[in-house]
Amino acid sequence: MSQRNTLARSMHDLGLAAWFGGSLMGAIGLNGAAAEARDPRERLELSAAGWMRWAPVNALAIGAHAVGGIMLLEGNKGRLAKQPEVQANTAVKTAVTLAAMLTAAYSGVLGAKVAKHSDEGAVGATEPRPGASRKLKRAQRKLRITQWALPALTGTIVVLSAQQGEQQRPVAGVLRGIR
């Protein structure tokens, strides 16, 4: 049996790259550009339309990352069983990944709430205008938090993945017969 996990690593890493990059670009680029629309109503409409177009790609990215991660766990179960530092990293990475998945789902729910109130207009996708309804203000306030939490969480997963790569170096146990 091959010791290579190229397909699993590719799915894991490309999915994570798209998830991280898409969330960061959306918060900075999409929401920032939508805030520049002249019509306050158009600001929410443009942001919502952009996020709706991204949602299926984001779901595929998250799915690829998750499936690749599960495949990597299966392929590295020997290391996981024998190396405490790998166990710790995997536990933290799994918790952060689940938090990121929940944050992504919640962000989608909040985005749908904001989109329902697009006729009210806004300063920006996550910034209400004076006189906005309480429901819109509340959803935008929460969305402002999740739009930055998501790249922070997925960025943390990138760092934990890099640490896992370092744990596979010979000095981390491979020379001692742990694979």
Which backbone phi and psi does 124 adopt, to 5 degrees?
Answer: -160, 180
Q: Residue 172's pLDDT is what?
A: 54
pLDDT, block means (10 residues), the chain with 179 residues: 82 98 97 95 95 97 98 91 92 98 97 95 95 97 97 98 83 53
How far is the C-alpha of 85 from the C-alpha of 21, rounded, in Å? 28
Predicted confidence at residue 6, as pLDDT, reads 95
Beta-bridge mates of residue 30 = none
Give the model's pLDDT for residue 1: 42
For residue 57, give every residue at least 6 positions away whose Cβ sits within 8 Å of its Cβ, in sequence order, or none.
18, 22
Model pTM score: 0.89
The pLDDT of residue 170 is: 65
Contact of 2 with 55, CB cutoff 8 Å: no
